[in-house]
Amino acid sequence: MPIQLLPISLANQIAAGEVIERPASVVKELVENCLDAGASQISVDIEQGGRRRIRVRDNGGGIVKEELGLALSRHATSKIASLSDLEAIQSLGFRGEALASISSVSRLTLTSKTATQEQAWQAWVEGRDMQAELAPASHPEGTTVDAQDLFFNTPARRKFLRTDKTEFAHIDEVLRRIALARFGVRFSLTHNDKIVRQYNAVQEPEHAIKRVAQVCGSSFTDTALGLDEQTGPVRLWGWIAPAHACRHQADVQYFYVNGRMMRDRLLGHAVRQAYGDTLNDERTPSFVLYLELPAEDVDVNVHPAKHEVRFHQARQIHDFVLHCARQALSSARATAATEAEQ
Ligand code: ADP
Ligand code: MG
């Protein structure tokens, strides 16, 4: 075959292969976009485990009519413009790929209205070159992305979808993670028109624990130890369960770096090490922890799905997390020992 440029739709489908694994990946990307747009209310409506429909609506800043087509194109983003922006990323998104990818593997419409516009507009793309079409629409200020019939044109991917129940469980988990990342935002989740979750906005920081209880269960919050430590510009805060309250399942393991949920080996290792041999092989740590550090000290452009980060000072970060977690756990043991003596 001669060398030729791929049709845009096919190039986008290939890109989708990296980040859009299942309905839950779509939900993650769309809800992150709402957060980047400054939304305070986000609703996620799912039909048939997401294979029939994923609709995400927000009350954020919206997209102007002239940029709707661009929003659906690959490598188009409003979040970074230069390498220096990439090196100190503040937003959740920056790759400019999600909407283009999702619209290449579903029937997607993007509807939006900004504060300065009288009229809302709807956009969708069609054909091999994914040309954007536009039509006037009715929509309050904010944005709705409606993605229907996911993987209708990529049967290989569709084949790997599990039951609606399993796919929905993954979506539910994505929303839990995000709910723990943004206490001030109200989230709702429906499945086949039934309300499944409602996370009300937390106005006072001291009420954050209520949302943690809603997401992780009161069995976690009843015993969890609070911690909050800072050294220079680096802060670690959150909750960690004492060894005796830890369970077999690794179901309460949430680690956030600058508001982004991570599955990071280094951080996981530091927390596990803090327990030392107080935790036997049958139990695994439970924690909800938030690490905050200057954006330029961490590289999030490591993995397309952004699950991993690279710390510029990995050793120091590891030791700081270890130190804080160890201190929280040992002060709890000391209290328990004094109470036992009395
Ligand atoms: P990225 O988030 O990496 O920039 P996306 O493909 O997810 O790429 O989105 C492309 C662009 O579309 C974003 O940079 C943003 O300007 C705009 N956009 C997407 N979703 C929303 C939304 N819910 N509200 C406002 N703007 C949005
Ligand atoms: Mg995005």
What's the N-to-C CA distance of the chain in angstroms? Answer: 83
What's the whole-model pTM score?
Answer: 0.94
pLDDT attached to residue 178:
97
Q: Assess whether 226 and 258 both reside in one domain.
A: yes
**Is 318 inside a domain boundary?**
yes
**Is 210 inside a domain boundary?**
no
Torsion angle of the four alpha carbons 170, 175, 177, 179, in this order, in degrees rounded to the nearest 10:
-160
- Residues of the chain with pLDDT > 70, as a percent, come to 99
Q: Assess whether 325 and 233 both reside in one domain.
A: yes
Which of 99, 109, 301 for mutating ligand 1's site (highest number of atoms within 8 Å of CB)? Answer: 99
Whose atoms come closest to the Cα of 145: which ligand?
1
Structural domain range at position 272? 217-334
Extract the residue ranges of the chain whose pLDDT is less than 70: 305
> In terms of Cα–Cα distance, which of 61, 62, 30, 63 is closest to 45?
30
Q: Assess whether 112 and 185 both reside in one domain.
A: yes
Check pocket membership of 50 for ligand 1, CB cut-off 6 A: no
Q: Assess whether 43 and 156 both reside in one domain.
A: yes
pLDDT attached to residue 264:
86
Q: Assess whether 39 and 170 both reside in one domain.
A: yes
pLDDT attached to residue 281:
82
d(CA 326, CA 334): 12
Q: Assess whether 187 and 41 both reside in one domain.
A: yes
| CA of 77, closest atom in ligand 1 | 14
Q: Assess whether 183 and 325 both reside in one domain.
A: no
Which of 199, 234, 255 is the endpoint of a domain?
A: 199
pLDDT attached to residue 18:
85
**Is 211 inside a domain boundary?**
no
Check pocket membership of 94 for ligand 1, CB cut-off 6 A: yes
Q: Assess whether 111 and 224 both reside in one domain.
A: no
